């Protein structure tokens, strides 16, 4: 595929439990209403293709079918294909995001910072108070293995030799996981690695300094996992607080969220919210 | 801000004091005002009700009708009247261009508050409180947002300040709604809460520390046994401990102590009367 321009890329492989295409559709409505100059591409598998509607064709600039689907059909967490982002992306510069992430304002200017590196993984995360989180509840494995505190929820890569090497290395690590988890990594309980872990190990292998921008501490997002907010990790964060929408702004616990929000709980995307983002998209097109 | 006008701007302190069944707030205001005059040398206005008979010579006494209807628990868990409504009216009632609004249980013991008038601001609030054991970061409830203290408030008469006090008024009038929305612990109306919420809303629904008074407010929550000053050191004796710290302003929660002759004598001594 010829690569051109800049844009967002996400993966949407529906499972029995989660309609990831719906999440990606809401995200595309949200992202495109905030970015006139950036396009949006979604990568889907064969199974998800049947769910693509006319509205999807209108909102997504690109709908790309996975060349090689490497996940088991009954898998509920289809992360094994993410290394194919480099091959799948139609863009020269790609901001890859997880589909359960929303924006409240444009991040187009982040490209200026991203361009310092060929690959940039977002580092650390924030709580709803916009403070960098120092909670390590979900990051014990990273600390045990001295891995960089990177998040796959939002990353950047440029069509470049290094980015190609990054994703090829990720694939190699994925293929060698059964060996690595026993003989190399400490306290590894992940049968297959999450993308956060996979990219952290990849960054550690290739050089953390080549894949992160530590001085740009704004390149991250609000992660709504409850322990990051200082709440009990047992429950759903939506039961612990209020959420309001004011045009593109999302107000959580009475505070405006100026950073991207990784809402994490898929039930967050109700039909009412989906309609809200569709309306925002159509309004931005007619403006 | 127009610098040429700065010299002409009037500055002063405003205190609210409405006696309740158990606390003589006017008497406490009289004591606190001696210290204010001694250390800040600013004019003082007392806002009180028609029944009050203040002993201190205030520059101005403004008598208003005060609403009842708020209650709180005292130390013995008895429900007592708390006449703390309408603090927002200070914006209209204050005769000064630049007003320092103080609670009567705040004892001024140095002139550090004067330095705040030199700062650029619409209003300044007390974000941090320090107890003798360290900085205390309180929230309005277990899953709420940070509490700001309305004990010390500095404001200029500007459109933003007017908006701020109008918001406090709206929050007081719809307190039942805001209490639930912000997961507040206390059931009674508290000015601290209303000021905290108004500040968050006015700053774009954000926690903006630019409106903060830059230092923490020293607060003693325990009952006070005695206060004394020795070699510029403030000695605070409670029933449990003695605290020695540099002489500074002090917020005292123990209203009973503030009404005693001992407190009055301590203040007299400080003011060299």
A241 and B143: CB-CB below 8 Å? yes
Give B2's pLDDT tier (boundaries 50, 70, 90). Answer: very low
Q: Closest-CA residue in chain B for A252?
A: B205
Mean pLDDT value of segment A155-175: 96
A-chain residues near B199 (CB < 8 A): none
For residues B159 and B83, the model is more confident at: B159
Q: Residue A266 burial by CB count (10 A; 0-12/13-18/19+): exposed, middle or buried?
A: middle
Mean pLDDT value of segment B224-241: 94
DSSP string of A229-252?
GTS-TTS-GGGTS-EEEETTEEEE
B207 and A241: CB-CB below 8 Å? no
Give A10's pLDDT tier (boundaries 50, 70, 90). Answer: very high
**Is B164's pLDDT higher than 60?**
yes
How many Å lie between the alpha carbon of A119 and the closest alpha carbon of chain B? 32
Using CA atoms, how far apart are residues B63 and B56, in angstroms rounded to an integer?
15
Q: Angle, nearest 10°, between helix axes B25-39 and B261-270? A: 10
Mean pLDDT value of segment B259-267: 96
Q: Is B237 domain-assigned? A: no
Domain that holds residue B102: 9-216
What is the value of pTM for the model shown? 0.86
Query: Looking at the complex, does the CB of residue A239 fall below 8 Å from at least one CB of chain B?
Result: no
The per-residue pLDDT of chain A, averaged, comes to 94
> pLDDT per residue over B62-81, tens digit each?
999 987 778 777 777 777 77
* Contacts for B204 with CB less than 8 Å, ≥ 6 apart: A256
User: What percentage of chain A carries pLDDT values higher than 90?
Assistant: 86
**What burial letters (b/e) apply to B96-113, b meaning 16+ CB within 10 Å?**
bbbbbbbbbbbbbbeeeb
Q: Using alpha carbons only, what angle is made at residue B35 by residues B33 and B36, rounded to the nearest 5 degrees?
A: 60
Using CA atoms, how far apart are residues B2 and A27, in angstroms rounded to an integer?
48
**What burial letters (b/e) apply to A212-239, b meaning 16+ CB within 10 Å?**
bbeebeebbbbbbbbbbbebeeeeebbe
**Cross-strand bridge partners of residue A222:** A126, A261
A-chain residues near B197 (CB < 8 A): 254
Using CA atoms, how far apart are residues B185 and B81, in angstroms rounded to an integer?
19
**Is B5's pLDDT higher than 60?**
no
Domains of chain A from N-terminus onward: 6-286 (3.90.550.10)
Nearest beta carbon to residue A255 from set B143, B181, B207: B207
Which ranges in B7-60 belong to alpha helices (H)?
25-39
The pLDDT value recorded for residue B6 is 52
> pLDDT per residue over B19-65, tens digit each?
988 899 999 999 999 999 999 999 999 999 999 999 999 999 999 99
User: What percentage of chain A carries pLDDT values higher than 70?
Assistant: 96
Residue B103 sits in a domain whose CATH number is 3.90.550.10
Q: Is B116 domain-assigned? A: yes
Q: Is B194 domain-assigned? A: yes
Structural domain tally of chain B? 1
- Number of helical (H) and strand (E) elements in chain A, helices listed first: 11, 12
> pLDDT per residue over A112-161, tens digit each?
999 999 999 999 999 999 999 999 999 999 999 999 999 999 999 999 99
Query: Looking at the complex, does the CB of residue A255 fall below 8 Å from at least one CB of chain B?
Result: yes
Task: Report ipTM (2 d.p.).
Answer: 0.80
The pLDDT value recorded for residue B205 is 95
Query: Looking at the complex, does the CB of residue B142 fall below 8 Å from at least one CB of chain A?
Result: no
Give the position of tokens 């992660």: A223
Q: Is B207 domain-assigned? A: yes
């Amino acid at each position: 595929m010829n690569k051109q321009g800049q844009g967002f890329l996400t993966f949407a492989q529906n499972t029995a439990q989660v309609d990831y295409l719906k999440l990606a559709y809401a995200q595309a409505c949200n992202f495109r209403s905030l970015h006139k100059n950036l396009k949006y591409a979604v990568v889907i598998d064969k199974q998800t293709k049947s769910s693509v509607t006319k509205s999807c064709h209108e909102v997504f600039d690109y709908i790309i079918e996975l060349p090689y689907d490497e996940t088991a059909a009954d898998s509920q967490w289809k992360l094994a294909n993410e290394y194919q982002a480099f091959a799948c992306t139609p863009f020269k510069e790609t901001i890859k995001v997880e589909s359960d992430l929303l924006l409240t304002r444009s991040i187009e200017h982040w490209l200026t910072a991203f361009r310092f590196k060929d690959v940039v993984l977002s580092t650390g995360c924030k709580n709803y108070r916009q403070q960098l989180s120092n909670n390590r509840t979900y990051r014990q494995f990273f600390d045990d293995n001295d891995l960089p505190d990177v998040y796959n929820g939002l990353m950047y890569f440029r069509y470049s030799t290094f980015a190609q090497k990054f994703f090829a290395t990720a694939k190699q690590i994925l293929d060698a996981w059964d060996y690595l988890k026993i003989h190399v990594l400490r306290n590894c309980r992940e049968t297959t690695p999450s993308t956060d872990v996979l990219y952290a190990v990849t960054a550690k292998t290739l050089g953390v300094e080549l894949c992160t921008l530590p001085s740009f501490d704004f390149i991250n997002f609000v992660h709504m996992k409850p322990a990051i907010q200082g709440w009990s990790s047992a429950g759903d964060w939506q039961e612990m607080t209020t959420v309001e929408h004011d045009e593109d702004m999302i107000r959580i616990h009475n505070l405006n969220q100026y950073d991207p929000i990784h809402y994490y709980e898929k039930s967050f995307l109700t039909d009412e919210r989906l309609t809200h983002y569709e309306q925002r998209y159509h309004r931005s097109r007619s403006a | 801000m127009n610098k040429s006008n700065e010299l002409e701007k009037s500055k002063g302190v405003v205190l609210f004091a409405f006696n309740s069944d158990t606390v003589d707030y006017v008497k406490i205001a009289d004591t606190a005002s001696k210290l204010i005059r001694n250390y800040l040398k600013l004019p003082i206005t007392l806002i009180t009700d028609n029944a009050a008979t203040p002993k201190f010579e205030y520059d101005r006494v403004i008598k208003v009708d005060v609403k009842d209807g708020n209650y709180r628990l005292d130390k013995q868990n008895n429900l007592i009247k708390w006449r703390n409504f309408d603090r927002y009216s200070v914006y209209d009632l204050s005769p000064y261009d630049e007003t320092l609004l103080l609670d009567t249980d705040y004892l001024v013991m140095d002139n550090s508050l004067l330095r705040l008038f030199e700062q650029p601001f619409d209003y300044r609030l007390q974000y941090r409180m320090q107890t003798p054991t360290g900085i205390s970061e309180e929230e309005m409830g277990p899953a709420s947002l940070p509490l700001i203290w309305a004990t010390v408030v500095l404001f200029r008469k500007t459109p933003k300040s007017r908006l701020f006090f109008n918001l406090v008024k709206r929050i007081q009038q719809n307190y039942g709604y805001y209490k639930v929305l912000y997961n507040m612990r206390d059931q009674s109306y508290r000015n601290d809460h209303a000021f905290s919420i108004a500040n968050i809303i006015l700053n774009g629904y954000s926690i903006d520390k630019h409106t903060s008074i830059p230092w923490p407010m020293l607060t003693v929550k325990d009952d006070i046994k005695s206060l004394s000053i020795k070699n510029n050191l403030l000695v605070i004796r409670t029933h449990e401990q003695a605290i020695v710290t540099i002489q500074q302003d002090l917020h005292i929660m123990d209203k009973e102590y503030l009404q005693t002759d001992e407190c009055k004598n301590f203040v007299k001594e400080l003011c060299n009367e």
